[in-house]
Structure 1
Amino acid sequence: MAEPQTVDEYLAAQPAPAREALERVRATIRAALPGASETISYQIPAVAVNGTTVMYFAGWKNFVSVYPVPSGDDGFQQAIAPYLAGKGTLKFPLRQPIPYDLIGDVAVRLAAQRAPR
């Protein structure tokens, strides 16, 4: 299979459960970061703000992931703790409700921390 050239192609190639979750992740990020652009980088969707890539998301057999992990206060750290998988990854199991609001918060924090002002 050819490498995806667009986010739409990437999503279309995912198995149904991951694709449905990823479409909601994408919509959540778009709502949180209006005007952000999308591309494929490292063979997964990437989101850029003001020309700087601020985050990535990807689908897997049993979970969806968001990269990297932003810094935040104690309350935010507690909220993301169940999803931390390694130093720079948040994993959201497909068999559990996905906290899309938290993913939106992650997007806003990453944009604030990584994008040029």
Structure 2
Amino acid sequence: MTKKDNHDTYIAAAPEQLRAMLGQLRVRLARALPDAEEVIKYDMPGFQIGETIIVGYAAFSKQCGLYVDPGAIAAHADEIASLKLKASKTGVTFSGNRPVPDKLVEKLATSSRSKKGL
């Protein structure tokens, strides 16, 4: 697999059915974290402030993941569950059939930032 060096190449290399959703997620995260820098870390696109990664996202074959501080997931666990989204300690997986709503993306990003003390 070719190494991706920026968000554009990462999204372009993702499965076709996920590209638009990833592009929208990128825009939502950039709006929620306007002072964050776009980075590629651990072969995943993310947003970083200083040396701290606030949020990352990834594409898989049939779904995507949004990765944040564990405290952000815990703080919004009820909302995540009510939307019937699948969550782990540090992330939420979603698909085109069940995307993460814009408001929740914003809440998770800002909460992750807060939990990291930034």
Return the TM-score normalized by structure 1: 0.85
d(CA) in 2 for partners of 1:50, 1:115 = 12
Count of residue pairs brought into register by the alignment: 113
Query: What residue is the counterpart of 2:77 in the other structure?
Result: 77
RMSD across aligned positions (CA)? 1.7
SS in 1 for 2:2: coil
Structure 2 match to 1:103? 105
User: What residue in structure 1 maps to residue 5 of structure 2?
Assistant: 5
| Pairwise CA distance, 1:43 | 0.6
Secondary structure of the equivalent of 1:38? strand
Segments of 5+ residues of structure 1 without an aligned counterpart are none
Corresponding residue of 2:91: 89
CA-to-aligned-CA distance 1:12-64 (integer Å, 9 cap, x gap): 11122211101111100111111111111111112112331111111122221
Bigger relative CO (Cα 8 Å, ≥ 6 apart): 1
Q: Quick one: distance in 1 between partners of 2:114 and 2:44?
A: 22
Deviations 1:65-93 (A, max 9, x none): 11134131xxx321112323332220112
SS of the counterpart of 2:19? helix
The CA deviation at 1:115 is: 4.3
In 2, the alpha carbon distance for the partners of 1:21 and 1:45 equals 14
- Aligned mates of 2:4, 2:30 — CA distance in 1: 20
> Which stretch of structure 1 is more off in the superposition, 7-16 or 19-28?
7-16
What stretches of structure 1 move > 3 A for 4+ residues in a row?
Answer: none
Does the aligned pair in 2 maintain the 1:54–1:115 contact within 8 Å?
A: no
Q: Which runs of 5+ in 2 are unaligned?
A: none
Out of 105, 113, 116, the residue aligned to residue 114 of structure 1 is 116
